[in-house]
Amino acid sequence: MTTQQALAVDAQLISGNQAIARGVWEAGVRVAAAYPGTPSTEILENLKQYSDIHAHWATNEKVALEVAIGASLAGSRAFCAMKHVGLNVASDALMSQTLAGVAGGLVIAVADDVGLSSSQNEQDSRFWGRFAHVPLLEPADSQEAYEMTLEAFDLSERFDVPVILRLTTRICHVKGLVRVGERRVAAPERHFERDASRWVMVPGNAKRRLGVQLERDRELAAWSETSTLQEITPGTDRRVGFVASGPVVMQVREAFPEAPLFKLGQTWPVPAGAIRRFGESCDHLVVVEETEPLMETDLRAAGVAVQGKDILPRTGEITARVLKQAVARLLDGAPAEGETLGGAALEVFPRPPTMCVGCPHIPAYYCLSRLTRKVHIMGDIGCYTLGAGQPWKALDSATCMGASMGMALGMDLGRTEVDKDKAVVAVIGDSTFLHMGLQGLIDITYNKGNVTVMLLHNSTTAMTGGQDHAATGRALEGGEAPRVDFVQLVQALGVRPERVKVVDPYEMPTLFKTIREEIATPEPSVIITNQPCVLIDKFDRRPPYQVIDDQCTGCSNCLNTGCPAIHVTRRESRTLASGKTVDKSWVTIDTLACTGCGLCPETCGPDAIVLKEFAAETVQ
C-alpha cells in the first residue's frame, strides 16, 4: 500500500477550524493564543488537545497577537486566531511588527463572518494583506485550511513576515474530508537574538526597515506570479473565465464546471501578470469575490480587463445561483434557466435568538425595560446584546467590544437639555469588560462621568459557547487559574467602594432597587451581578415553578420577563366598561425547561406561579 492510499483511508470529516488546529500542531508551533469569536473560536479549543503546545485564551486579540509575536521573537513558531473584528483590535501590533518581521514563523488566522451570522459588521479582512504588507492565504475548504496552515508557517519564515490565514464561516464551520500528516520535527533549536535595530521600533530603526519591507513586497509579488498556491483550470467553455479565491471558488466550480478558473490560494499580492495571461483566452473575465472588490480593483489598476461587482452583489455570500444569474445577464441579458426554482418562501414568524430559560441576564433586562423612559442604555457585545430584542427592548446602542463604557461617558457629557433628566447606564459582560471595558471605565472615573455600569458577571464568555477567561478561575485546558476580582478591580480603577454593589440578579426586587438608587446617584457606580450562565457547569438548577391554572388571571405580566419557558395557553380580548380593550393571555410554564430562577413569580400579582412541589401538595 502506498503512503497516499494509507492516508486516504484515514480521511476524517472535520471542520475547517479543526483542520487548522491540526495544521498548527503539525507545523511544530510552540505557542498559540486567541480570544473567542465566532466563527474562529473552535481553532483554539481544538488546540488544547495537543499537550506540546502552550495554548491559552488571551484577554483580547491584541494581547493574543503580542503573545504570538513574543514567542516568535523567542525563536518558536507561534499562532493566534481571532474573528474579523478582532484584528481591528490587534492591528496596532500587526502594523508595526510587520516592519520588524519575525524570527519563528508567525501566523494569524482571521475569520470573517460573511453574511453576518453572529457579528456586528461584515468587514473584509483581505484588506490587511495590502495594508500590513503581509501575504494573505485563503483556503477554499477544510483540506486546504489544513495544508495552507502548514504553508503559511513556511512562508512566514521564508519571507520574514507575519502571514494571515483568512477564513470565513464557510471554512470554519464546514466539515469536509481531510487527509492529515504527522507533526514535524521542530526546526533546529533557535533562540532569541538580541538586536535592537531589528526589534525596537523607534523611528530610526523603523525607517531603516521600511526599505526592507518594500523589497519584501517586491519579492512576494514575484513569488505570487508563480506560486503553487495559484491553480489554473483551463476549462472547455471559454465564454467566461473566472478569478476567485476562498470558499466562493466552490460556488464557481458548482455553477460553471466547464469554465476556465484561476483559483488564488493567496490574494495579496495579486498575481496580475499570470491572471492577465489567463484572461487572454477567455471572452470575459469575471472576478468573483465576496463583499469587497479587492482583487478586482488591483487587477483593473494593473490594466487587466475584468468584471466583478458591476454584475455581482457587494454584500453577503455569493451562491452558485447568484453567479449563474449574473453571468446569464452578462452573456445575453436574459435570466438563467431555473432562476425561479424554489419560489418565494412561505411567510412565518421570525425566530431570532433570545436569552435562555433562567438566564441571569433576564432579570437585569426586565428591570431595565421598566426604566427605559428614565435611562439611556449603552450596550456591548455578548449575549446581553439580545436585551435589544423582544420583549425587553432595553438597549440603545451596541458598537464594538467595550464601547459601552466610552459611549456612556460621551452620552453623559454630550447630552443636551432634552435629555438632562435621563440617567446613563452601560451594560457589559465579564469577558467583554476584561477584553476592552477597563480602559473605558477609567475614563468614566477619571473624567467624573455620571454613569451606572451594569457588569453582568456570568463567569464565562457565553455567546461564543462558554469559554473561560481571567475572571472564571479556570484556564483553557481546564486547570485552575488565578481569578480577577471585579470588586477590587473597579475600585482600583477609581469607583468609590460605596458605589460598587454586588447583586444576585435572581433577587429581582433588590436588583431593581439597586439600579434605581445608583442611577439617582451623580457619580460613577458599578452594579455587578453574580450568577453564572445557565449553560455552564457552574450553574445549579433549582426546583421548577408551575402555574396554578385557576389562579392565573391572564394579566400576562410574566410574559414581560421574556423567559422562553413561559407559554401562552389561551388568549382573549376583553372590552372594559370604559370602552378600552385589553388583551389577556393565560400561561403555563414548561417545568422541564424551568430552572427555578424565581423571576416570574415576582411579576405575578395573583400569586398563581408557585414551586411545582408546592403546587402538587396544593392539588393533593
Partner 1 sequence: MSQAEINKVTNILVVGVGGQGVMTAAEVLAQAALALGLDVKKTEIAGMAQRGGTVTSHVRFGPRVLAPAIPAGEADILMAFEAAEAIRWESHVRPGGLIAVNTLKLAPPVVESGIFPYPDDPVGMLRAAGREPRALDADAIAHELGDVRLSNTIMLGAIADSLPFAADRLKEIIVARFSAKKKELGVLNAQAFEAGCKAARAAQTAA
Q: Please pick, from the candidates 118, 205, 372, 510, the single residue that binds partner 1 as defined by CB under 8 A.
A: 118
Contacts of 352 (CB under 8 A, 6+ apart): 389, 390
**Contact 380/387 with Cβ under 8 angstroms?**
no
Residues in contact with partner 1, shown as a per-residue x/- string from 68 to 107 under the rule CB under 8 A: ----------------------------------------
Q: How many CB atoms neighbour CB 611 within 10 A?
A: 17
Contacts of 593 (CB under 8 A, 6+ apart): 357, 564, 565
Q: Does 342 bind partner 1 (CB under 8 A)?
A: yes
Least separation in angstroms between residue 592's CB and partner 1 is 8
Q: Does 386 bind partner 1 (CB under 8 A)?
A: yes
Q: Please pick, from the candidates 158, 175, 184, 370, the single residue that binds partner 1 as defined by CB under 8 A.
A: 175
Tell me which stretch binds partner 1 (CB under 8 A): 19-27, 493-501, 545-553, 556-564.
556-564
What is the phi/psi pair of residue 396, to 5°? Answer: -105, -10
Sign of the alpha-carbon torsion through 21, 27, 30, 32: negative
Tell me which stretch binds partner 1 (CB under 8 A): 88-96, 268-276, 343-351, 438-446.
343-351
Q: Please pick, from the candidates 39, 104, 105, 129, the single residue that binds partner 1 as defined by CB under 8 A.
A: 39
Partner residues linked to 525 by β-bridges: 452
Q: Does 448 bind partner 1 (CB under 8 A)?
A: no
Q: Does 277 bind partner 1 (CB under 8 A)?
A: no
What is the phi/psi pair of residue 82, to 5°? Answer: -165, 165
Q: Does 418 bind partner 1 (CB under 8 A)?
A: no
DSSP secondary structure code for residue 490 in this structure: H
Least separation in angstroms between residue 149's CB and partner 1 is 19
Tell me which stretch binds partner 1 (CB under 8 A): 197-205, 314-322, 412-420, 444-452.
314-322
Side chain identity, residue 482 = P
Pick 354 or 397: Cβ nearer partner 1: 354
Q: Does 203 bind partner 1 (CB under 8 A)?
A: no
Least separation in angstroms between residue 17's CB and partner 1 is 12
Cell of 505: 440578579
Strand order in the sheet with 500-503: 375-378, 423-429, 451-456, 525-529, 500-503
Q: Does 337 bind partner 1 (CB under 8 A)?
A: no
Q: Does 180 bind partner 1 (CB under 8 A)?
A: no
**Contact 172/42 with Cβ under 8 angstroms?**
yes
Q: Does 451 bind partner 1 (CB under 8 A)?
A: no
Q: Does 390 bind partner 1 (CB under 8 A)?
A: yes
Side chain identity, residue 121 = N
Instruction: Tell me the C-alpha distance between 107 and 105, whole Å.
Output: 7
Radius of gyration of the chain (CA): 28
Q: Please pick, from the candidates 583, 614, 616, 617, the single residue that binds partner 1 as defined by CB under 8 A.
A: 583
**Contact 181/11 with Cβ under 8 angstroms?**
no
Element (H, E) at 168: strand 163-168
Cα 47 off chain centre by:
18
**Under the rule (CB under 8 A), what is the footprint of partner 1?**
13, 38-39, 113, 115, 117-119, 141, 169-170, 173-177, 247, 250-251, 253-254, 257-258, 317, 319-321, 338, 341-356, 383, 386, 390-391, 463, 465, 535, 556, 559-560, 562-564, 566-568, 571, 583, 585, 587
